[in-house]
Amino acid sequence: MAENETTPEETTDGGTATAESEPIKLKQSVDITDIGPCKKHIKVTVDRGDIDERLGEKYKELLTKGTSFVSGFRPGKAPRKIVERFYKADVEHQVRGEVLMASLEQIADEQDIAPLTPPDLDPTKITIPEDGPLIYEFDVEVRPQFELPNYKGLKLKRPVQTFTDADVDAEIRRLLEPYGQVVPKEGKPATAAIGDIITTDIRTTIQGQLLNEVKEARIRVEPQLVLKDGLAKDFGKQIKGAKAGDTRSVEIVLSDAVANPTLRGQTVQAAFVINDIKTVRLPEINQDILDEFGAHSEEQLREMVRVVLERRLEYQQRQAMRQQVIALVADSALAELPQDLLMRQARRAMQRKAIELQSAGLNETEINSRLRMMQQDIVRSTTSSLKEHFVLQKIVEVEKIEVDDDDVDAEIERIAARSDESPRKVRARLEREDMLESLATELLESKALDLILDNAEFEDVPLTAAHDEPPAPTVEAQAVPGELQDPTDVPEPVKESDEE
């Protein structure tokens, strides 16, 4: 419990502070109690003298400026006691609002509290008593308090890769596939491989009980498959080599959004019956194709692809080193984050991730795939994202890092250049989706990470699957029927007055 008490200073004429002088501080005591991880209960007691002084000012203004209108008296001529009785409700309403605003601002200035959400406070339920101090209480979610280790001079492992012509060829094939023609796969019999397209019936069960059946789903074979309500991590491995008519068993981990709460996070069995196997016949690289990618020649296209690969590697490097930095404090200082806090912050975490991916230059398909994977286990992914946010924000505060409008404009131009859009269109989209604040937050955290990396020592290690997220096509098929729920929709706690 902490207590802070301040005493107002009088102006030279004994009155209140003017607009030109510093506002007079309230004489108030603040009791702060921990009521759980990242949550505090705050009780504020405002001295009666401050209340009476403000009430007196309001009534004096009504009398001296002639703004009081009481039946039977000329404007401003009614006796004070009658004015007080006639205007009591209005004056107390005004004073309550002014005192509450000043009190909360004073708490923000004087107390070491970093709120994550607005305080759980209903001003309409606060009343000025006939006598005695004004007392009000509220709960507030706050950022966790922890000590940062020495984050300068860290020894970090940096994944590296030298891209070969074969890597460039593979990326060009991926870029050309949307312009290709889907044709039956040759071979007797044709077998499924990574990159092929299968038509399949899906039958999901748990402990032998049928959950759902999906007919004629068209799915691209990649290492992982993201369904609308689940993730098949070893999809490619389990489907590879299958022939038309084969049935392959695939494990699917259900997301936190499935309609049945008892199934959330559960692993179910899915039988994929392969009906047909097709492949993509790539188009020839002609001038029309080159124009689609803004290239003048095939050699220029290859150079552009190398830039994309290097940009993706840079993102993977920053992610790998970011995780190493966070691991220094996450397991101890940030071991426990409350479930309701995670759910309330999930949407913001998703927004920050989306901005991060856009800034890294990933295309829309890759961004949607990664966000869908993040949504599969919203608790785990939000926990990881929040820990990163808290640690980097702490460094932002310690180092007094700031961003200004020029930083935001420059980042919007960078996103626009990488997504081949105009800066005005990017800004409009961010404003429409209420993501400008998330962009500023991501810029702050990126600057904090840059500071750490500028002072770190690196050991280069080969890029492995652990540093990269394998391609994951998304399909709208569901493993479990029913309307998906929003796991971030946390109901507000029921208060006694509501129950009554």
- As a whole number, mean pLDDT of residues 298-309 equals 93
**Cα separation, 330 vs 310, whole angstroms:** 29
Residue 78 tokens read as: 């009614």
Phi then psi for residue 410, to 5 deg, are -65, -40
DSSP assignment letter at 467: G
- As a whole number, mean pLDDT of residues 209-235 equals 91
Q: Check residues 76 and 322 and name the one with the higher pLDDT.
A: 322
Q: Check residues 417 and 488 and name the one with the higher pLDDT.
A: 417
Q: How many CA atoms lie within 13 A of 53 on its CB side?
A: 17
pLDDT beyond 80 at 488: no
**pLDDT above 70 as % of the chain:** 82
Quick: pLDDT tens for 361-415: 677 777 777 777 666 666 677 777 788 888 888 899 999 999 999 999 999 998 8
pLDDT beyond 50 at 419: yes
Q: What is the pLDDT of residue 134?
A: 92
The two domains 2-141 and 181-281+472-500 share their CATH topology (first three levels equal): no
Q: Does domain 155-162+286-467 have CATH number 3.10.180?
A: no
Residue 145 tokens read as: 């308090």
The pLDDT-based confidence of 38 (bands split at 50, 70, 90) is confident
Mean pLDDT score across all residues of the chain: 82
pLDDT beyond 50 at 11: no
Which residue type occupies 347? R
- As a whole number, mean pLDDT of residues 86-112 equals 87
Domain boundaries, the chain: 2-141, 155-162+286-467, 181-281+472-500
Quick: pLDDT tens for 310-335: 988 998 898 888 888 888 766 555 65
Q: What is the pLDDT of residue 327?
A: 80
State the alpha helices, DSSP H only, in 251-401: 287-292, 298-330, 339-359, 364-376, 378-399
Cβ contact 277:185 at 8 Å: yes
CB atoms within 10 A of CB 373: 18
Q: Omega into 189 within 30° of 0, i.e. cis?
A: yes
Cβ contact 171:163 at 8 Å: no
Which residue type occupies 498? D
Q: Return the CATH fold of 2-141.
A: Alpha-Beta Plaits (3.30.70)
Distances 146 to 255, 258, 331, 342, 472 between C-alpha atoms, Å: 31, 35, 12, 18, 37
Q: Which of 318, 376, 333, 395 is nearest to 150 (CA)?
A: 395
The pLDDT-based confidence of 303 (bands split at 50, 70, 90) is very high
Phi then psi for residue 129, to 5 deg, are -70, 160
**Cα separation, 104 vs 260, whole angstroms:** 42
Q: Which of 225, 248, 247, 243 is nearest to 185 (CA)?
A: 243
How big is the chain by its Cα radius of gyration, in Å? 31
Q: Return the CATH fold of 181-281+472-500.
A: Chitinase A; domain 3 (3.10.50)
Order of strands across the sheet with 28-36? 2-5, 28-36, 39-46, 134-141
Cβ contact 176:283 at 8 Å: yes
**Cα separation, 64 vs 121, whole angstroms:** 35
